[in-house]
Amino acid sequence: MTDSIRTAIVTGAANGIGSAVVDKLASLGIAVVAVDLDADGAAAVASRVRDSGLPATSLAGDVSDPALSVAAVDAAVGLTGGLDILVNNAGKGTVQAAIADTELENWRRDIEVNLTGQFLFCRAAIPALIARGWGRIVNVASASGMEGLALAGGYAAAKAGVIALTKTLGKELAQTGVIVNAVAPALIRSEMLSRPTFRREMLESLLARIPMGRVGEPSEVAEMIAFLASDAVSFSTGAVFDLSGGRATY
């Protein structure tokens, strides 16, 4: 194709925040590699981008598999000649339990998907981003990573790790042209909220802590991510941007 088009990898792209991010980036003329565990969902998102006239492709797999991040970077380079933007959005909900009752396997899985996956994609993407002389990494953390979250300790710990990862990369890459920031959403509308496994009392508790009195929309998160992935952000790196409807003011 052409390396004059900016290209983004978006993980967790098949629905929710990831799908909204892909649509927003495509509206700005950015080609996309859509990555998700859901092969059909990722393919559908990439197809939407191609229908708009931009290059796009999809990859299916588990973000905790080191081979997937390498394949995604290779796909971006093959698509347009390089990689400019990485949006680490893939994540998973947790099996809700107090720390004392949390199974080790569930804890490990929370960390693998929600933290290790972001580490792997950052590690794979950094050389390609530096080679461009310009790059943006946006990691999706969570308000839970700043506050902790009862009955979701593994998830909260992983998201706290994402914040630390972002701050570390901001320092390490500060003079490379690659800017790294994170967003920390609170409760965002998603399919996960309607699952029977998501406790109603937890949903009500989370909602009660949002001064705006509502859940956020995926499109609102996508707008912030697109901003952080743009030229408009040039002197902020290693920072965490709040998307909590005022919850972070407590």
Residues belonging to the active site: 155
| Distance separating the N- and C-terminal Cα atoms of the chain | 49
Token look-up 């004392």 returns 100
DSSP state of 241: E
Closest CA to 127 of 77, 89, 62: 77
CB 11 within 8 A of CB 63: yes
Helix (H) or strand (E) holding 181: strand 178-185
d(CA 141, CA 218): 14
Q: How far is CA 4 from the centre of its chain?
A: 24
Q: How many CB atoms lie within 10 A of CB 204?
A: 9
CB 7 within 8 A of CB 80: yes
d(CA 84, CA 76): 9
